[in-house]
Amino acid sequence: MKAPLLSLRNLRKHFGGLAVTDDVSLDVATGEIHAVIGPNGAGKTTLINEVSGVLPVDGGSITFDGRDITRLPLHRRARLGLARSFQITSVIPAFTALENAALAVQAGAGSSFRFFRPAASEARLNGPAMQALDAVGLAARAGVPAGAMSHGEKRQLELAIALATQPRLLLLDEPLAGAGPEETERLVGILRGLGSRYAILLVEHDMQAVFALADRISVLVYGRVIATGTPAAIRANAEVRSAYLGEDEAVPC
């Protein structure tokens, strides 16, 4: 396996007396899609929030490209190359796809946003923004307001916004949520292509997609990692089947 770009060691997060992440350790290498799966309430989104800097950790360490970022604020992690998407779409509906992506380019460059006009009016932002849209199959939709796009296209746009910040690691929290079958197929194809170029930490409930995409999978149950391995190893793991996948559930092949 490649050297890890991201290393989590013994991460802990408590809300009152509840351990939401409990001694979590895992690695993600560049060019690897590492999926985190588990039942609702397992702590998956909390884990993404800890890695991105949305939530402080109560214990353990986060290392990115050999640097301890455990106590760095969110904006400094983003500058180092961490970008995330959310369960709920977070685009600006009145702005075009290009303007949404251009704002991300602007933010990545450290703009103070002293002015508020369509960022895509600036030529220096257009190139990187269009490259990000092209990477997710939205170049032809650059001039369409985000609010007029389908749910699947908005998910694609969120990926483009993340890419426009020039990340090294993508933190994706249920990028397929709410997508229909055709949209899911398209998004899976896009994520597969991105996985060859970026490190991806993926939280997703669609097991068919997870087993099709992931190089490795970690299973989180009650805040603890009960297994990490290849899709084949996770598929065959009796503890995983019992705790999450279900003894009688058909596991994707």
Mean pLDDT of 86-102: 83
Report residue 53's pLDDT band, with 50, 70 and 90 as the boundaries.
very high
pTM of this prediction exceeds 0.95? no
pLDDT for 243 equals 77
Report residue 114's pLDDT band, with 50, 70 and 90 as the boundaries.
very low
Tell me the three-class secondary structure of 199-243, residue by residue: EEEEECCCHHHHHHHCCEEEEEECCEEEEEECHHHHHHCHHHHHH
Domain with CATH 3.40.50.300 in the chain: 1-81+167-253
What digits encode the pLDDT tens for the residues 144-190?
999 999 999 999 999 999 999 999 999 999 999 889 999 999 999 99
Q: Does domain 1-81+167-253 have CATH number 3.40.50.300?
A: yes
pLDDT for 248 equals 40
